[in-house]
A and B are shown apart, each in its own frame.
Chain A
Amino acid sequence: MNRYWKIFKQGIINENPLLMLMIGLCSALAVTTNVQNGVGMGLAMTFVLLFSEIIISAFRKVIPSSARMPIFIIIIAAFTTVIDLVMKAYFPALSKSMGVFIPLIVVNCIIMGRVEAYSYKQKVVDCVFDSFGMGLGYTWVLVGIAAFRELLGNGTVAGFPLFEKLGFVGFQPILFFILPPGGFLVFALFISFNIWLKKRMAKSAKAIAAEVAA
């Protein structure tokens, strides 16, 4: 169990796809103008990642390595089409506000990267945990960025007027944060924060090790 927890944990901070590996950025910034979009995108992406990893891992012995790229692309594109149609049918408003970014999951480097580097070599069970870890790592950053931008840019979190309820009646939304430049700035701060967090965790791990040694 410990082993699976370790695989799961990797994606959340240490190998966070967005903040550490710097892949899959496009969708992360474009859809995070409000929290609903962030959650929707995170789940859609996790769905595609999970099923692509399972299928590719299950068939990893049959897929010839010289033709693996086109095969991966077809598998990923199939699941992207599924989620695109599902969202269009059941969440039309959400699907409309995310626009072209749902079909663009197919070229999201996180999926291609994980499939190539991980599930093509590992067992199915490991892949399930890996994809949940990566998916959650992606989703928390998305929701974090979205909450930050929506709160400052619109005064709400997931449509809930947080500032008004807390008594800051005179709060003027800072439109900058909803606009594209604000997205870049908030993302810069998130990366910076994650680097700090990782350094701190490494430091405390070292301190614990030193204590044990003493």
Chain B
Amino acid sequence: MIKIFIIALLINNVVLMRFLALCSYIGMTSDVGQSVGMGFAVTFVTVLATAATWPLYHFVLAPLNIGFLQILVFILVIAALVQLVEFYLKKNVPGLYAAMGIYLPLITTNCAILAVTFENISYKYSFIESVVYSVGVSAGYLLAMVLLAGVRERIKTSPIPKFLQGTPILFVATSLIAVAFMGFSGLVK
């Protein structure tokens, strides 16, 4: 169980090792506060999506032999879920909504969430394992977001070679962070 978590969080970090959710990784890290907000919003929705899609696949799609509709069903479930969460937060927890409301619509097309729900099925995880895996992946996402946001604050005041200014330097920085993360690969045998 801990092994699944550590592998998802550090060794196979969702952004740095597996290139998922790069759009929001580049787009939403211009300051630390924003990146933390996005990270928690993604964590919240990923865990909810796992809790919704795992039973759906194993108790509805698999018995009916319509597993091939997986892509269609999962993306709709996630889209609907995000919408419901948005309504619920707006009405009942306005404080939290103010903090992460603006990130929610962006999450529907965040590929990390959809990937986690597919992998829970293809890795044949049990329900508990799936939830642990989804927490691990989204914690890894949060970690990568905060790391890049920190580096970006420093980049703002640094002299950058002219040909790397703008987006290219972000990918160079990401590359270096990824090198550091390669060091975790011996952590779990």
Q: Which residues of A contact B (CB under 8 A)?
A: 22-27, 29-30, 69-70, 73-74, 77-78, 80-81, 84-85, 100, 103-104, 106-109, 112, 179-185, 187-189, 191-192, 195-196
A149 to chain B, nearest CB (A): 12
B94 to chain A, nearest CB (A): 25
Flag whether B169 is at the interface (Cβ < 8 A): yes
Q: Cα distance A23–B166 when bound, in Å?
A: 16
CB of A23 within 8 A of CB of B23, answer yes
Contacts of A78 in B (CB 8 A): 72
CB of A191 within 8 A of CB of B72, answer no
Pick the contact of A192: B72, B118, B119, B168 (CB < 8 A). Answer: B168
A51 to chain B, nearest CB (A): 15
Pick the contact of B171: A24, A84, A108, A187 (CB < 8 A). Answer: A187
Q: Which residues of B contact A (CB under 8 A)?
A: 16-23, 26-27, 68-72, 75-76, 79, 108-111, 114-115, 118-119, 122, 163-164, 166-172, 174-176, 178-179, 182
Least CB separation from A179: chain B residue: B182
A interface SS class: helix
Beyond A184-B172, A184-B174, A191-B168, is A26–B21 a contact (Cβ under 8 Å)? yes
B interface SS class: helix
Beyond A104-B111, A107-B110, is A181–B163 a contact (Cβ under 8 Å)? no
Q: Cα distance A113–B163 when bound, in Å?
A: 28
Pick the contact of B26: A25, A73, A180, A185 (CB < 8 A). Answer: A25
Contacts of A74 in B (CB 8 A): 72, 76
Beyond A188-B172, A189-B168, is A81–B68 a contact (Cβ under 8 Å)? yes
A73 to chain B, nearest CB (A): 6
B53 to chain A, nearest CB (A): 13
Q: Cα distance A108–B110 when bound, in Å?
A: 9
Contacts of B119 in A (CB 8 A): 100
Least CB separation from A19: chain B residue: B167
